[in-house]
Structure 1
Amino acid sequence: MAEEELYDLVIPPGVPRSVIRDIIGKYDVELVDSPQRLSFANMDGDMRNLLAFRGKMDVLQKAEKDMVAQVKDFIGSD
């Protein structure tokens, strides 16, 4: 049986650590470094290691919705 392909969901800079920890606890994902080429301002073409969740596509889609909702809640709170 072939292993299901894994994907990376890059975590936008600024996502609170509490949200990252919660997603890792709720979903079958792994926290990994993901080298990304930047394409803005004076960093055009620079490579940076950003954090990402690695997992199956269906799991990452649920985790992404949850992460966005939690960040919106976090921003809305005082």
Structure 2
Amino acid sequence: MAEEEELFDLIIPPGVPRSVIRDIIGKYDVELVERSERMYFANMDGDTRDLLAFRGRRDVIEKVEKEMFDLIREFIGEE
């Protein structure tokens, strides 16, 4: 990835299987990064959590998002 390109992050939802993350990193030109995000659901009222994200070009991240959710659906048996 070139330094001058604008990069986008796709937050990986907690609980995504490592196999899904590994498959995506092996297939796409993305980097696995850590992001601190404030959470506002359940009993978390603005608590900061360290989350994983895929970082890459917008066109690649859009493909990664679709594939990640397809792989998750397959993993849990919805397809």
Would you say same fold, with TM above 0.5?
yes
**How far off its partner does 1:43 sit?**
1.2
> What is the match of residue 73 of structure 1?
74
Q: 1:4-23 counterparts in 2 under 5 A?
A: 4-23=5-24
Q: Which amino acid aligns with 1:37?
A: R
Compute the RMSD of aligned alpha carbons: 1.3
Q: Secondary structure at the match of 2:62?
A: helix
Give 4+ residue runs of structure 1 displaced > 4 Å after superposition. none
CA distance in 2 between partners of 1:49 and 1:68 (Å): 21
Q: TM-score, normalised by structure 1?
A: 0.92
Structure 1 unaligned residues grouped into runs of 5+: none
Q: Secondary structure at the match of 1:42?
A: coil
1 or 2, which has the higher helix percentage? 1
CA distance in 1 between partners of 2:15 and 2:43 (Å): 20
Q: Secondary structure at the match of 2:43?
A: helix
**How far off its partner does 1:40 sit?**
1.4
Q: Secondary structure at the match of 2:14?
A: coil
CA distance in 1 between partners of 2:53 and 2:41 (Å): 20
Q: Secondary structure at the match of 1:68?
A: helix
- What number of residue pairs does the alignment pair up? 76
Instruction: Work out the percentage of aligned pairs sharing the same amino acid.
Output: 68
CA distance in 2 between partners of 1:14 and 1:52 (Å): 13
CA distance in 2 between partners of 1:41 and 1:72 (Å): 23
Q: TM-score, normalised by structure 2?
A: 0.91
